[in-house]
């Protein structure tokens, strides 16, 4: 299992709902959450290992959601 952590602009329920729709058909994503109270709107994704950082970033940016790997 992989745990991927991202900085995003998912700051409200509308964007969270959009992410939910995008992730719904991605069976490799086992669990995900977004912390809209955090200044970086941290997105945490647990995957089966077949999904990497670039996949998530490309998927979200295609739908105009800012996303980058959170270093630290």
| CATH number for the domain formed by residue range(s) 2-69 | 3.30.70.100
Residue boundaries of the structural domains of the chain: 2-69
What are the residues facing 31 on neighbouring strands?
46
**Encoded tokens for 34:** 């977004």
72, pLDDT greater than 80:
no
Q: Name the DSSP letter for residue 72.
A: -
Amino acid 24: pLDDT: 94
**Encoded tokens for 29:** 């994503």
- Residues 16-33 have pLDDT tens digits of 999 999 999 999 999 999
Q: Name the DSSP letter for residue 27.
A: T
Amino acid 52: pLDDT: 93
Amino acid 29: pLDDT: 96
Q: Is 13 helix (H, G, I), strand (E, B) or coil?
A: helix
Overall pTM > 0.85: yes
Mean pLDDT of the chain: 95
58, pLDDT greater than 80:
yes
């Amino acid at each position: 299992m992989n745990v991927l952590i991202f900085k995003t602009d998912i700051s409200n329920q509308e964007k969270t709902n959009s992410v939910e729709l995008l992730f719904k058909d991605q069976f490799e994503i086992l669990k995900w959450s977004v912390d809209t109270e955090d200044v970086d709107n941290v997105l945490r994704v647990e995957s089966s290992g077949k999904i990497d950082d670039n996949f998530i970033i490309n998927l979200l940016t295609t739908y105009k959601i800012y996303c980058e790997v959170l270093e630290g």
